[in-house]
Amino acid sequence: MIKKLYNKIKNNLNDAQFITVDYIRKCKKIPNARNPKTFSEKIHFIKISDWLEDKSDFVDKYKVREFIKNEIGEEYLIKLLGVYDNAEQIEFDKLPQSFVLKLNNGSGYNLIVKNKDDINELQTRELLNEWLKSDFYKVSREKQYKNVKQLLICEEYLEDDSGELRDYKFFCFDGKFKFVQVDSGRFSEHIQNFYDNKWNKLDFTYVCEKNDIIDIKPEKYEEMITLAEKLSSQFPFVRVDFYYVNNKIYFGELTLTPNNGMESINPIERDMEIAGWIDIKKYK
């Protein structure tokens, strides 16, 4: 009952109020909106600004493909197998044995199909149509997701030597690469590490706990940095995600407000150093 009342009150708030209340609830502190210092406060500032309003095409997993094609070339795109307005349009018999179905808007709406003989088509269509009814903007009021037309996309299934797919997330500030976040074991034991431009492991954590693992440096790491900087050149801050499979680079996505601005970098000294690279004057 209390939760329902809280959600009713929160849903009647404007974006800035909603975002601030959400921040206080999840981060257990009041954000310094006038003079943000920490990484989460800087992301909070970006979220309450109007800067994100016209950035929908960059987070739309379908429309962003045109941007990638024009900026670095379509050879970096994962093969597109289909685009659908609703799940009934999907012809499963014409798809390969393995594929990935995604909602073009938001985070976490991914269905990885390694063997289509193992899926129930009716249940799958029901799930996908539920995704289409969702509104990711309303979950966190991240304005870049507000005006995206909901679509389903089907992409080629990719797998690297881990048996899954490592994420290489390049943090770029004013078009300059600063560090990469490497995520592995998403569906087993999630491991996250950070490296500089020389692949030296960095001494901070963001979401996962610290570990002693050193990831293997991709042979085309320098090319990945070059591509990330080119794609980030028009943003004050953006995270550019890639995959690396069989010595080939694939674009993943652009992220403007990582983890919804609800996570802190540890230790706090590194958090504030990284936050200092975001110039909030560019969001006013």
User: Please, which residues have CB within 8 angstroms of residue 86's CB and are 6 or more apart in sequence?
Assistant: 129, 132, 152
Mean pLDDT within 182-191: 85
Number of domains observed in the structure of the chain: 1
CA 238, CA 229: separation in Å to the nearest integer?
10
* Average pLDDT value for the chain: 95
Per DSSP, what are the bridge partners of residue 99? 113, 156
Task: Please report whether residue 43 resides in a domain.
Answer: no
Residues 29-85 have pLDDT tens digits of 999 989 999 999 999 999 999 999 999 999 999 999 999 999 999 999 999 999 999
Task: Please report whether residue 97 resides in a domain.
Answer: yes
Task: Please report whether residue 144 resides in a domain.
Answer: yes
Task: Please report whether residue 108 resides in a domain.
Answer: yes
pTM value > 0.85: yes
Task: Please report whether residue 138 resides in a domain.
Answer: yes
Residues 86-134 have pLDDT tens digits of 999 999 999 999 999 999 999 999 999 999 999 999 999 999 999 999 9
Task: Please report whether residue 121 resides in a domain.
Answer: yes
> Which residue range is the domain that position 108 belongs to?
79-156
CA 152, CA 143: separation in Å to the nearest integer?
20
Task: Please report whether residue 118 resides in a domain.
Answer: yes
Tally of CA atoms within 13 A in the half-sphere of 229 that contains its CB: 11
- E-strand ranges in the chain read 80-84, 99-103, 110-113, 152-156, 167-173, 176-184, 191-195, 237-245, 248-255
Give me the pLDDT at residue 186, please.
Answer: 73
Task: Please report whether residue 272 resides in a domain.
Answer: no
Q: Does residue 163 surpass a pLDDT of 90? A: no
